[in-house]
Structures are given as C-alpha cells and as structure tokens.
Structure 1
C-alpha cells in the first residue's frame, strides 16, 4: 500500500485556508492525503480531528513547532498571514531539512495577494498597467518594497537554491460567504475582509463610500473558485513536471475586475434595500476615515492583472464581476445580523 502524501496546512481556521482545506477534503482521492494543520485554538484542534486532520497546536512564529512540522511533510500550503516573513522563513527552514533527509524538494504552495501590484492612485484614476502571471519579466519589475513582495522573494530564492519547488497563488478581491463542512463545524471563518470592511464602514456612516473618485480597479474572484485553483494547481504539479515554479510560479486568482466606484455603488444599492441608507450613490471617504479604516492606501490603489498561467493549467472559473456585485447584499445581511453595531 503506497504511503500517504503528507500535507501541512496553515491558516485552516481562516476564510481562504478553510475553503482550500474543505476543497481538498472533498476530493475523491482525499484518503490518500495525511493532512496536518497548525492552529492556535485547542478547541478547534479537537474539532479538526473529527475530519481526520492531525492538529498541531501552536503559533506560526514558534521556531520549534514550525520547523519540526515542515520537516515532516511532502507539501506545505500556507494560507495565513501573507506578510509574515518570520513564518515563511521557518517554513523554508523546515522544508530544507526535509530535502536534506529525502533528497526530494518538497512542494511549497504559498498564498500572497494581488496587493503586491498596488500603486498610489488614491481612487483618482485607472492604471493602464495590467500584469500577466505568465510574463516573468514584467513581474520582476515589482520592487521589493511592494506589499507581500519580501515574502515572495524569499520563497523564490529558496526555489532557486533547489531545496523546494515553490508556487505562489495571488488571490485578488475574494468574495462570497464561504460554505463547507469546516465552516458548518465552526472551525473556519466564513467571511472575507476587503468587501465586508467596505460594507461595515458604509453601514456605520449611513452611506456607501469610496476612496477619492473610486476610479481605481481591482480584480475579483469567488472564494470557492479560488479554492479550486489550489486543488487544480496541486494536480498540475503532480502530473506535469513542466508546471511553472520559482520565478515562473506565480498564479493569479482573478476572473474579472471592478472599479471601486462599482463596488461602492453595489453596496449602496444593497444598503438602500436593507433600509440602512437613503441613497445608493456613494461619496468619498474623508481623510480621517481612510486613515482609520484602510491601511497603506490599498483600497484606493489599482492592482490589475490577468490569470493566464492559472487558466493554462486547467483552472476554469465561471463567476465574474456580476457575481461579485450580486454577493454584496447577502454579505450586508450577514453583517447586520452578526454585528451589534450594524443594528
């Protein structure tokens, strides 16, 4: 009987991590995997056992735990904090140890984000620059100072050394309330951050808002279709040795794009229907609101891209911007139901 493929998951209790792990658990070959997950909560660790997942209680920044856990697996899928350089380096340290013991480079699928593409538009214009995940030279023009870039570069350097094969997935604006067994069990968080953050602030101020004139563009992707990308990428890695890795291993998670104005207008329409705003027309956030609620100008930036490499390996997302806009009312309803400040 062949040995199981040992897979370490980080971020399993989160929105993306819970969705991806749920997707892998639903695969027909799920019994061939030995899933382990690092979690902080002992209570959630116990719940994970019910799904056949081996929990490791601890922090992603604990050297002993991370290095030991990563040194025991064939695959690491990181979906926690994409800016946590310490966790990334500890993961690499453990995977390097695995390589020295087995002579085979383990697979490292890391989650970054299209925030690495951001500019300083402040909602005032749409950039003409559209990044292509198949265009290595274009991606290498991104400076090390960009968000997430220091982690991405450390992982690419490790791939170049030869002790891992790295694959970096870059989700965009992820939408929809996540569904699945881990969410039903209360293990994983079913809500995104970006659009719900806009919705929450809009409810508090009684009107949908945007940075500047909302002319900047971001790509979008449904959470369940994003989870499919991780599974499809794993299959491509397993079956096709030419699957791009390292500097050729960036995979955008996007299927359509929207201006910030479009998103804000959609939120405004949802809030009018729910009795939380008198007009659907958004206005500009104040400087105080931007400073308090949105870090580093990200919300007013452009991050335009096309997922050509992702689609070339067989990823076929069907949901686009119209689906993102349709998701805003259910998100607003959930926020109103669950957040006392929104009543």
Structure 2
C-alpha cells in the first residue's frame, strides 16, 4: 500500500512473535504499517485477516521460495521463529537483496537469536557457576563468540549481509523467557501464550513425582519476562524509525541481549517443588538430581539434559542504551513458576510427556542423540 511501511513477520503465532505483533497492532503508528505474516494454519490466517487486518501467507520455513518473495516485498522483516535454520535465513536475505537491487531501498532485518550461544566452555553439569559474563556493548567480547556456538551460524549470516550493505540487520538475544502472554491474539486462539523452557522442567518433575535439576543446580542463566522482550523489539524498531537505521548499532555491533537479572537453576527447580507440594503432587519440595536415564528419557539424551546445567551469563547494557527499561525481575520469574505448574497439572500434559527436543535440534547443539 502506498505510503505505508511493509512489514513481514515470521513467527506471528508464536510466543515471542505473537506478543510483538500485538504491540505493533496497538502501536501509535499502526495505521502506517502494512503487515504480512507467514503462518502454517489457514484458519489462523483467516482470523488474522478478518479480525486484525493482517495479511497472511500460508506456509512454513521450508517454503524458501515463499520466504524470499515475502522478504523482497518488505522494508522491515521480523524473524521470530526458528533461530537456527540456515536455509531459511539465506532465503530471507536473498529476498532483501533483491529488494535493494530493484528499488534502492535498504531494508531492515531484526532476527531473534538467544543467549544459548554463550554456553560454550561453561558446561559444568550444574555443579558450579562460572565467572564469564558477556556485555553486549563490549564488541570485541561479542566478536569472540565461536562460529560453532548455538544460533551463531545464522547470526553470522545476518552480519555478513549487513556488511555487504544491502540491508541493515539487528539481532535480539532473549534469555530464559517466562510469563504468560495476555493479548487479543491469545484470546482469539491465534497465539501460543507460553514458553517451553520452565514448563519443560515442570513436566519432567511432575512425571517423576519430585522436582528435578541437573547436578546441584548451581549453574546460572539470565531471565526476562515476555512483555519486556516484546517491548525491546518495539523500542528497537522505534529507534531505527526515528534516528535512521545507520544511527542504531547494526550488523556485528547490532546484538541486543534481553535480560533483567539472573537465577540459579536450583531456584526454578525449588519453586517447581514447592508448587508440586502445594498441589499434592510431591511430599518434599527439595529438588533432586536427574539420573542419566531420566535425562535421556525427558530431554532426548544425557548430553542434551546437561544443557540445563550450563551457564549463560550476560548483561543487556546495549538494549538499555536505547531506553529499554524492563519491569520484571528474577523474583517475578520465581513467583510465576507455580502458575506454570498448575496449568500443566490442569491440562494433564505431563502424563504423556516425552522429550520435546527433536534430533534436528540436538544436531544444532552439535550433540548426538542417543539411540
């Protein structure tokens, strides 16, 4: 549409993407946005169009030709689905390059990665916290992250595209995300309202009848509320729109952590245990270590289970320079755990709980799945 900014959203029905889309729909400049979403479900596509005025294309990350076409049509692409699909990102970037070559426009890509890439060398199997803390304003430190780190291969593709000059790229790296999303998209049945991180541990704990942890639960991760994550995307977009894309750190300098405090793994497991006792699902709130057999059963492999005993420590200084001021802290995350456990018990989803990490995801961690 003439005069409107074409925005392409990938992951619009997901936990992060749907929450960001709800913010865009309520944005004071929403009337200037022409939003298109890629969705798998024709039913959800219909709802997005009829109730929210969002154009939709039905497809998936596997439809690389469609990804390329939709990206070529957009000035802004928000990638908030798979952080690790190289082929999909190549298609997105090819579309943005075509747009630049045909129109002269320098489009914007905001990609979602994660602080999982910081765990390299910090795998303590839950027996210790490590001292290394990443600061996203320390560009030399950020550049030292290994190319083989989780999510990093896709991030590097975005950096290279920015360096070529045909687009401006920015990477948001959320940490442990928590909280239930509440918005019109959730109410309409379009958006997934919950994370998988804490619920996965809760399901495993409920199934075994006692809260579980890896090792002694001493490893540390940052945490961030879903509403604060969504705010960061909007603040970043607003900064790009008001200052100009070149005035906001981009490319290899354009990484923005999303965190507001950190926790020891034990704290989450203990909160799960307390919720289980309150619900009559356990007699003791104190978590115990998962056995190797349990790690394999619940998380796909012993090695993958040890992921929950890694350290990923960072400070989101960069995002705060943009004016991002997260409202929720670690205490809010701990307080939210009981609601997650209650929801799982109510749905009885733990009774048939299986490993939620597929072999392709294990491969992206460079961890072989057990037979």
Same fold (TM over 0.5): yes
Q: How does 1:218-297 map to 2 (within 5 A)?
A: 218-241=221-244, 242-294=247-299, 296=304, 297=306
Map 1:81-120 onto structure 2 (within 5 A). 81-118=82-119, 119-120=122-123
Q: What residue in structure 2 maps to residue 17 of structure 1?
A: 17
Bigger shift: 283-292 or 214-223?
283-292
3-state SS, counterpart of residue 124 of structure 2: coil
Among 310, 324, 342, the alignment partner of 2:333 is 324
1:128 and 2:131 aligned: yes
Question: Which among 209, 213, 217 is matched to residue 216 of structure 2?
Answer: 213
C-alpha contact (below 8 Å) 2:39/2:56 kept by paired residues? yes
Q: Distance in 2 between matches of 1:342 and 1:191?
A: 19
Partner of 1:28: 28
1:312 aligns with one of 321, 325, 344: 321
> How much does 1:133 deviate?
0.8
User: Could you tell me how far apart the structure 1 residues matched to 2:32 and 2:134 are?
Assistant: 37
Q: Superposition RMSD on alpha carbons, in Å?
A: 1.4
Q: Check whether the contact 1:61–1:90 (CA below 8 A) recurs between aligned residues.
A: no
Structure 1 window deviating more from structure 2 (2-11 vs 125-134): it is 2-11
Give how far 1:25 is off: 1.1
Q: TM-score, normalised by structure 2?
A: 0.90
Q: Residue 340 and residue 264 in structure 1: after superposition, are their counterparts in 2 closer, same or farther (change >3 A)? A: closer
Residues 54-112 of structure 1: per-residue CA shift (max 9 Å, x gap) = 00011222122111100000000001111111111110010111111221210000000
Distance in 2 (alpha carbons) for counterparts of 1:192 and 1:292:
21
Q: For 2:279 and 2:309, locate their aligned partners in 1 and report how far apart those are by CA, in whole Å.
A: 26
CA drift of 1:339 comes to 2.8
Q: How many residues align?
A: 343
Please report how far the alpha carbon of residue 342 of structure 1 lies from its aligned counterpart in structure 2 after TM superposition: 4.8
Query: Deviation of residue 197 (structure 1)?
Result: 0.3
SS at the partner of 1:327? Answer: helix
Residue 333 of structure 1, aligned match among 330, 339, 342: 342
Partner of 2:184: 181
- 1:303 corresponds to 2:302: no
Partners of 2:22 and 2:345 in 1: how far apart? 27
Q: Which runs of 5+ in 2 are unaligned?
A: 353-371
Q: Shift in Å at residue 340 of structure 1? A: 4.6
Contact 2:7 / 2:75 at 8 angstroms: preserved in 1?
yes
The 1:136–1:340 alpha-carbon spacing in structure 2 relative to 1, beyond 3 Å, is closer
- In structure 2, the CA distance between the partners of 1:248 and 1:341, relative to structure 1 (3 Å rule), is closer
Aligned to 1:225, what secondary structure does the other structure show? helix
